[in-house]
Amino acid sequence: MKTPEDALLCPITLELFRNPVMAQDGHTYERQAIEEWIRKNGTSPITNQQISLEHLVPNYAIKKMVDHFESSLHNKNFQYTLDVDVKKKKGRPLFQTFGKTIYSAEWLPSNAGCPEIILLKIDGARANKEASFYVNLSRHPHIVRTFGLVHEDDGDKNSIILLQEYASEGSLYELLTERKKPIDEKILIEIFCQVLDAMSYLALNDVVHGDLACRNVLVFRFDENDPRNNVVKVADFGLSRYSKIYSQTTTMARTTLNIIPKRYCAPEILSTNVTANDYTEKSDVYSMGVLMWEAYSRGAIPWTNIESDDDVVRRVRNGDILPKPTNCSPQYWDIITKTWNKLSNQRPTFDQLKKLFKDQLYQTTTSASKPSMF
């Protein structure tokens, strides 16, 4: 396991410290995370040397740095000014699509002791909530953290800018398409469970994602040898035309808020008389199934053999489902297909999906560990 460049992040959770402790290996960890690690492994996650619970020591210096950073967020009321508190780094945007641009950024006056950040600009949108809402909603280990809103003097009033943490490994889509070999199924299941955990949290807070796909899952750490060592986070939640988080402006620009990702959508969203009430946890569950198919298919476009989106819409509204990827085990495919029930009330919730996957993973692991009788 690599240590993060940011001294304020736990190398296990990749989250800001809350209760930092130093271990015998000289590295600092979040107490709960390192205690769980030691109980399971007995060794350092970084140096692999033997370490023990008895020798964990509070790191007050790191705690003070984190408290200072957190208090600065509160003092700003999670509101920042471009070129005063943060600035865009020179060079091209990291990513750009219809109505959405991501810029590499840095804190002012200095990046020292602060998490790496990006600026997410959403055109054609206004914030429906206070900045603290975004910050508090993103306080989840598998949701990309938002530090606040950024105001740009003389900027476009028909857009908002979010200040968010930076994912060094890029998106899950990039990981899937750039690797020479498929990702092991056990790692995919771990990734799915982390996404499901995040989506359960959003559903609990009555937030519909509206654009769940591999491109909107960011990878903060990838380890092809140990599924538990992978960390992914959900990004771009609430980017739908009926979002309770953002409202559309009068601009006619094509944005992420008014483009429907038809190949990922539930049949009720593709209806000609779709309303705000059709965007629910269950419509996100349908998209989660497509995301899982996409991950097994190494980033392939859903319904890749059908050129016309209108033909895809007809197929989905008719109840047709995507074909089983060859590398997907039957027991997991059975779970995935439950997300595509034509009737939304017959689909599982995210909590139920997570339990189905974890139960199946447990059964698979225990059966594989049993000694053969022959």
Residue given tokens 């995301």 in the structure block? 291
Length, in residues, of the chain: 374
Q: Report which residue type is found at 74.
A: H
| Whether 299 contacts 247, CB under 8 Å | no
- Cβ neighbour number for residue 226 with a 10 Å cutoff: 12
Phi, then psi, of 187 in degrees rounded to 5: -70, -40
Nearby residues of 318 by Cβ (< 8 Å), 6 or more positions away = none
Supply the DSSP string of 222-274, one letter for each residue: --SS-GGG-EEEE-STT-STT-SSEEE-S-----TTT---GGG--TTTTSTT-
Place of tokens 């560990």: 369
* Choice among 211, 236, 278, 284 that is catalytic: 211
- For residues 241 and 181, give the distance between their C-alpha atoms in angstroms, rounded to a whole number: 37
Contact 246, 126 (CB under 8 A): yes
State yes or no: is 211 an active-site residue: yes
* 3: Cβ contacts below 8 Å, ≥ 6 apart: 11, 27, 46
Q: Under a CB-based contact definition with an 8 Å cutoff, are residues 27 and 46 in contact?
A: yes
Q: Cα–Cα distance between 43 and 50 in angstroms, integer?
A: 4
Task: Say if strands 79-81 and 146-151 run parallel, antiparallel, or are unpaired.
Answer: parallel
| Nearby residues of 272 by Cβ (< 8 Å), 6 or more positions away | none
Give the H/E segment covering residue 88. strand 86-88
Show contacts of 335-342: CB within 8 Å, 24+ apart.
Answer: 335/360, 336/289, 336/292, 336/293, 337/289, 338/289, 339/285, 339/286, 339/288, 339/289, 339/292, 340/286, 340/289, 342/267
Q: Which residues are catalytic?
A: 211
